[in-house]
Amino acid sequence: MTTQKTLTPQAWAELTLLGVIWGASFLSIRIALDTVPFMTSVLHRVFWATLVLWAYIFVRRLPVPKDPRICAAFLVMGLLNNVLPFSLMAWGQLYVETGLTSILNAATAVFGVLLAALFFQDERLSKMRFLGIGLGFLGVAIAIGLGNFTSLNPSNLGQLAILSGTLCYAFAAVWARLYLGALPPQIAAAGMLTASTVLMLPLAVTVDGVPDLNLPWKTWTAIGYYSVIATAGAYLLYYRVLALAGSGNLMLVTLIIPPVAILLGSVIRDESLPPNAFAGFAVLAVGLLILNRASRQD
């Protein structure tokens, strides 16, 4: 069942911090992609984040499960929550502006509500949720540009890849609730990222070759940010915010991410978005607010 809590000042502060961290991650990924192939960029992301989370677990002396079935669940979770969406979105960012990527990423929350209703009996689709989902998808369509659905080019394919990544995130949330809900969240995150590293390593080496570690300082800074801070650190912060704010309010983080990413993309990379992208985000934001309000009434 979707949980809802009152947002305290501390919860608002940590929710905003999480949104800023994730908003800046889109820029850091795009900077790294100037030098590093997209699959190798994903390998960096999951590998370094894995090391940080296992160090955290070691220091905190958290119990580590040894059940083979849990390891298998980690593999599926790593595929759905990291390998596929990280790869699809990184490839998509080669052709899509940083800000627009972050707007499309907000569709994760819409897909999440829809899939939760399909898989779980306690997540019913009320009229208000139907309205929120409908506005969410309409906002995405406007942001992409309705005319772009009639043709295929690298930009359109990149946008479709990013949306496919958000759908993977939504399926991952379902899988986590079904098979990993009993684990401490730090263990679940570390296990998932470990499995992701195991899956990404042969893929990245086969497609991109052995990773080149002789990279410019700017690239290493970007990799360090999106792997250590925006992945490992953000996972730990995410679960803190989830406990403080509840899953319904956590959806609001998707409204904070795009303005941060749009601003950074404009200032750092001189990107500009067409008016339909902002109009689409506005409609999508209304849909997300309606979904948030619907969770308050359940």
Average pLDDT of span 233-259:
87
Instruction: Assign 3-class secondary structure to 241-268.
Output: HHHHHHHHHHCCHHHHHHHHHHHHHHHH
Count structural domains, the chain: 1
Q: Nearest to residue 143, comparing CAs of 116, 191, 107, 192?
A: 107
In whole angstroms, give the CA distance from residue 170 to residue 282: 22
In this prediction, residue 250 carries a pLDDT of 80
Q: Is residue 153 part of a domain?
A: yes
Q: Is residue 124 part of a domain?
A: yes
DSSP state of 146: G
1 belongs to a structural domain: no
Going by pLDDT thresholds of 50, 70 and 90, the confidence category of residue 1 is very low
Does 3 reside within a domain? Answer: no
Average pLDDT over residues 140-157: 81
Q: Which of 177, 38, 60, 61 is nearest to 121 (CA)?
A: 177
Indicate whether 2 belongs to any domain. no
Written as six digits, the tokens of 207 are 């497609």
Q: Which tokens sit at 2?
A: 């979707």
Interatomic CA distance for residues 127 and 111, integer angstroms: 16
User: Which residue, 145, 113, 123, is CA-closest to 289?
Assistant: 113
Give the Cα separation of 46 and 24 in Å (integer): 17
Mean pLDDT in residue range 176-183? 88
The model's pTM:
0.93
Q: Are 191 and 72 in contact (CB under 8 A)?
A: no
Q: Give the domain extent around 262.
A: 9-297
Question: In this predicted model, which residue has the larger pLDDT, 165 or 65?
Answer: 165
* Token duo for residue 83: 């390998």
| Band (14; pLDDT cuts 50, 70, 90) | very high
The per-residue pLDDT for 149 is 63
Q: What was the pLDDT predicted at 292?
A: 83
Query: How far is 42 from 55, CA to CA, in rounded Å?
Result: 20
Say which residues have a Cβ less than 8 Å from residue 65's Cβ, sequence separation at least 6: 183, 187, 191
Give the mean pLDDT of the chain.
91
Instruction: Record the tokens describing residue 46, joined without a space.
Output: 């999951």
Q: What is the pLDDT of residue 5?
A: 62
In the predicted structure, residue 124 carries a pLDDT above the cut 90: no
